[in-house]
Amino acid sequence: MTPDLVLSLSGLTGLAMVALAALRGWDGWLALKRMELERADTGDAGSLIELADMRERLRKLEAIASGVDL
């Protein structure tokens, strides 16, 4: 193996590891937001509007994560 090939493969492997770690963090963040939505208190109108806004933002983030254009 040539040194250029080894360097290229090492760089590609490192990039893949960073990308997977970032995607796992993104998925964890979405799960946290989903959990916050489930636990939200829906007592007054202001809370309902805020909850609807958060659900819409979460829906958009999930669409972005899955690669769907809105």
Residue pLDDT, tens place only, 6-17 = 999 999 999 999
pLDDT of residue 36: 81
Q: Which two tokens stand for residue 10?
A: 């090492």
Question: How far, in Å, CA of 16 to CA of 39, rounded?
Answer: 35
What whole-number distance in Å separates Cα of residue 27 and Cα of residue 43?
29
State the residue range of the domain holding 33: 3-66
> What domain count does the chain have?
1
- Per-residue tokens: 50: 């805020």
Contact 66, 34 (CB under 8 A): no
Is the pLDDT assigned to residue 68 strictly greater than 80?
no
